[in-house]
Amino acid sequence: MILVTGGAGFIGANFVLDWLRNCDEPVVNLDALTYAGNLENLASLKGDARHIFVHGDICDRELIDRLLAEHQPRAIVHFAAESHVDRSIHGPGDFIRTNVNGTFTLLEAARGHWMGLDAEAKAAFRFHHVSTDEVYGSLGPNDPAFSETKTYEPNSPYSASKAASDHLVRAWHHTYGLPVTTSNCSNNYGPYHFPEKLIPLMIANALAGKPLPVYGDGQQIRDWLYVTDHCSAIRAILQAGKPGEVYNVGGWNEKPNIEIVHTLCALLDELKPDAAGSYSRLITYVTDRPGHDRRYAIDARKIERELGWRPAETFETGIRKTVEWYLANQDWVAHVQSGAYRDWLDKNYAGRS
């Protein structure tokens, strides 16, 4: 049995689905079902006894203690986080509460649980913390990619809150001996991605005939990782990762945002042509967001060298699968685009023209 936090969100849900495709070990899935958590992501597991869903908050220590005592998980995989930079700019308090206080609560509960295990179970237990490359700050065009020893230089409330959580995880290992691992991943994309992020937002807006808002000059560079490749990396870390170690997980796909948008337009032109012309006609440059990091890039050689992991998808194969999934799952997109979501888009993009 493993305990997954945030397992109804984008990456967490993909991880749960991937985990149960690859093994029969049950999952206890704890999610608060905030705006980005969606049980529709897990609809294919309805009636599957291997999946136990619990609606709850990682800041609820009593609940965490009860779940650990009841299910005795051999590992905790911690995805639960507020994760959108733009939202962190408008409302940083939620990010401190969930990403910092929530991680602290989870670590303390895990420490108490781990201390009570027998020697064999104690040695086998793992706490895996899922983090981001954004904690490292921004790179210049010729700077080397982020390695695991890169100094932390977070530039947004979101990345600062994740950096704080990373430091807590490290400290609980060095101070208390809790067997932790951390992964810092690059930008994920794929099925079930909430449509506030670049790729799903562009797909949804294009299909609706709405403007495709590109921040600034669109030359912000990110490394892109297909979500199931991220899932396989975490499985590799759980299986063979060394306690106390950090593993950077990347797709070896550095792309500027504007290139991503043009690629999406070309795929949509091919797969669902619009009588009004190419979707690229909808590209609209808008005012950049405050403190927008220029470039992220992941050096993923350590995880390949030590654990034998490399991404299976190229950007070309992954992005095609992603567009095909969104075209085939328009009902899912419509359901997540609630009034609250529309209000958020109006708030974030108002005045950016």
Per the residue annotation, which of 31, 57, 134, 254 is the catalytic one?
134
CB count in 10 Å sphere of residue 244: 15
- Token digits of residue 260: 């991503």
CA 339 and chain centroid, separation: 24
**Which is nearest to 268 in space by CA: 324, 214, 218, 192?**
324
Which string of b and e fits 97-119 if b means at least 16 CB within 10 Å? Answer: ebbbbbbbbbbbbbbebbeeeee
Per the residue annotation, which of 18, 57, 136, 158 is the catalytic one?
158
Do the beta carbons of residue 224 and residue 255 sit within 8 Å?
A: yes
Per the residue annotation, which of 18, 57, 133, 223 is the catalytic one?
133
Q: What is the residue type of 182?
A: T
DSSP 8-state secondary structure symbol assigned to residue 314:
-
Q: CA torsion 128→134→135→141, rounded to 10°? A: 130
Assess whether 134 carries a catalytic annotation.
yes
Assess whether 133 carries a catalytic annotation.
yes
Do the beta carbons of residue 75 and residue 19 sit within 8 Å?
A: no
Whole-number Å distance between alpha carbons of 278 and 272: 10
Q: Which positions are catalytic?
A: 133-134, 158
